[in-house]
Chains A and B, each alone.
Chain A
Amino acid sequence: MLLDNNRRNPSGILPSEITPQEMFEQRRQLLKVAGVAAMSVLFPTHLQAAQTLDFQKTAYGKEEKLTSFEDVTGYNNYYEFGTGKEDPARESTLFKPSPWAIKIEGAVKQAKTISLEQLMKLAPLEERIYRMRCVEAWSMVIPWLGLPLKALIDWAQPTGNAKYIEFVSYNDPRHMPGARIPVLDWPYIEGLRMDEAMQPLTILAVGLYGKVLPNQNGAPVRLVVPWKYGFKGAKAISTIRFVEHMPNTTWMKASPREYGFYANVNPSVDHPRWTQSSEKRIGAGLFAGRIKTRMFNGYDEVGQLYAGMDLKKYF
């Protein structure tokens, strides 16, 4: 009998046991709704971050394959929210990036403050698809939305004494659990030489993937310098200070042997821990291997900024 049954119906499942398609799809729909509801409870900022921005497309990185939104927003180095790569997405939900204003001080005609709204009106928002090379030898391709830092510098009117710019990140141990632990010397400080800051590639990003910048990526405004290692990109910038002398940045203070002020992507200057001649592209899969790292992360046009400099010494 068993044999007989199997011959007619190899799976041995009675037709009456099969779920009708409509019911099956209804269940899927229900699961989806439940899933979205659960997500919005667990990750309330996912909904806030959905706010889209108006921007102009540019030719930067047109040929690049973008890293997925999930990886760009789920694999972050942002020690104010924890040292694990998944910590920032999880721990930054309580952080409120608005209202926001940046203090402009130091060697400027007049110290002043600029609100995020004002800042976003200084120049049209542009989409810049940039490669991002982390000092830990992995990389991504991210469609940033932002404006040239130069627009803000022009507005700030620095004096002749301004040789460098210092970026100070927001530091709020109450809403930034990682900032309660002295892994680094808080607040996070980064810096650029004036000509690096004026370089057209250097932007202040306020969004990615067409939307407002998620908290874990440095909301509401962060620095993006695509020819330098990722840690140069100060997040949640609260103060911009024009200074005469080279700023002592956070990672330089943490380990001067490992992290230099310039931190230009350079395959021929090795880090004591990581090979810098090749990198793993995030999202490429288990068997994709490594790709060769390019000088200045492939942004050759910045080479002239360092003409005559020994980049092995000034790493």
Chain B
Amino acid sequence: MLTLHRLSLKKPTVLIRLLKAMIWFGASLPILRLVILGVTENLGANPIEFIERSTGTWALVFLLLSLIITPLRHLTGQPWLIAVRRLLGLWMFAYACLHLTSYVWLDYQFDWPDIAKDIFKHPYVLVGASAFLLTLPLAATSNEKAIRMLRQRWKSLHMLVYLIGVLALLHYWWLVKKDVTEPVIYSIVFAMLMFARWRPGINKASS
């Protein structure tokens, strides 16, 4: 099975390009939507919260999308899919940056003492901030050069994405007041994606 995969590794370049273009297009739509809603004053009564929620949710969605690639690759026997995983991960980082920016700028107007208090007093903010910090080394090493330089360590470093996922979900759970429906749904998806990675016997051989 495995050797078969290896043998069929021929990059369908056109398909990859098309898929990447689609990801760029699709991933920028939520930003475009926020801009249009913002300019037309349609972000609702609490526009800052709207932007914080939207960018946070999309960061989580792109994190989950990037986690789909590996199981999908094994399932379909299309190893070239790996080529879009980095792009999805970088879009997660882009939305996480927008999320953080809306928090420190729109929500707190760069009031650093208040931001520091908020982070250290409220566990959900602390967890969110930690998740963001952990994305920094991943974003910084998401290029060919870093992959070549770090080799095997690159893979271990990027395992951090699982921890980021757990922290992001915790951030969401703790932020919700009472109705946990949405965090539950995202957690189930995350759990399923983690389960899909678990392949007894061969999980060491490839990843």
Set A74, A272, A290: member contacting B45, Cβ < 8 A? A74
A74-B45, A184-B178 known; 8 new pairs, CB 8 Å cut-off, are A86-B44, A270-B122, A273-B175, A275-B117, A280-B46, A283-B45, A289-B108, A290-B109
Secondary structure of the B contact surface, majority rule: helix
In the complex, whether A278 has a CB less than 8 A from a CB of chain B is yes
Assess the A138–B175 pair: CB atoms within 8 A.
no
B contact residues around A79 at 8 Å (CB): 178
- Which residues of chain B from 109 to 143 have any CB-CB distance to chain A below 8 Å in the complex? 109, 111, 114, 117-118, 121-124
Set B44, B109, B117, B121: member contacting A75, Cβ < 8 A? B44
B contact residues around A273 at 8 Å (CB): 122, 124, 174-175, 177
Assess the B48–A280 pair: CB atoms within 8 A.
yes
Assess the B179–A83 pair: CB atoms within 8 A.
yes
In the complex, whether B30 has a CB less than 8 A from a CB of chain A is no
Assess the A85–B45 pair: CB atoms within 8 A.
yes
Docked CA distance A114–B186 (Å): 48
Docked CA distance A283–B48 (Å): 10
Q: How far is the CB of B49 from chain A (nearest CB, A)?
A: 8
**B→A interface (CB under 8 Å):** 38, 43-49, 51, 106-109, 111, 114, 117-118, 121-124, 174-175, 177-179
Interface bits A261-295 vs B (CB < 8 Å: 1, else 0)? 00000000010111101101011011101100000
Set B45, B106, B111, B179: member contacting A286, Cβ < 8 A? B106
A contact residues around B47 at 8 Å (CB): 285-286
* Residue among B107, B111, B123, B177 having the largest count of chain A Cβ atoms under 10 Å: B177
Number of interface residues of A (CB under 8 A): 28
B contact residues around A278 at 8 Å (CB): 114
A contact residues around B111 at 8 Å (CB): 289-290
- Which residues of chain A from 42 to 78 have any CB-CB distance to chain B below 8 Å in the complex? 70-71, 74-75
Docked CA distance A285–B178 (Å): 27
Whether A280 touches B118, Cβ cut-off 8 Å, given contacts A71-B45, A83-B179, is: no
Assess the B179–A183 pair: CB atoms within 8 A.
yes
Q: How far is the CB of B77 from chain A (nearest CB, A)?
A: 42
B contact residues around A86 at 8 Å (CB): 44
In the complex, whether A136 has a CB less than 8 A from a CB of chain B is yes
Whether A83 touches B46, Cβ cut-off 8 Å, given contacts A286-B38, A287-B106, A289-B109, is: no
Docked CA distance A289–B111 (Å): 10
Quick one: closest B residue to A181, CB to CB? Answer: B179
Q: How far is the CB of B174 from chain A (nearest CB, A)?
A: 7
A contact residues around B49 at 8 Å (CB): 138, 280
Docked CA distance A86–B53 (Å): 15
Assess the A274–B179 pair: CB atoms within 8 A.
no
A contact residues around B109 at 8 Å (CB): 289-290
Q: How far is the CB of A108 from chain B (nearest CB, A)?
A: 33
Assess the A83–B178 pair: CB atoms within 8 A.
yes
B contact residues around A75 at 8 Å (CB): 44-46
In the complex, whether A254 has a CB less than 8 A from a CB of chain B is yes
Docked CA distance A287–B106 (Å): 6
B contact residues around A184 at 8 Å (CB): 178
Which are the 5 A-B pairs with shortest beta-carbon distances? A75-B45, A83-B179, A289-B109, A71-B45, A282-B45
Q: How far is the CB of B43 from chain A (nearest CB, A)?
A: 8
A contact residues around B174 at 8 Å (CB): 273
Docked CA distance A285–B51 (Å): 12
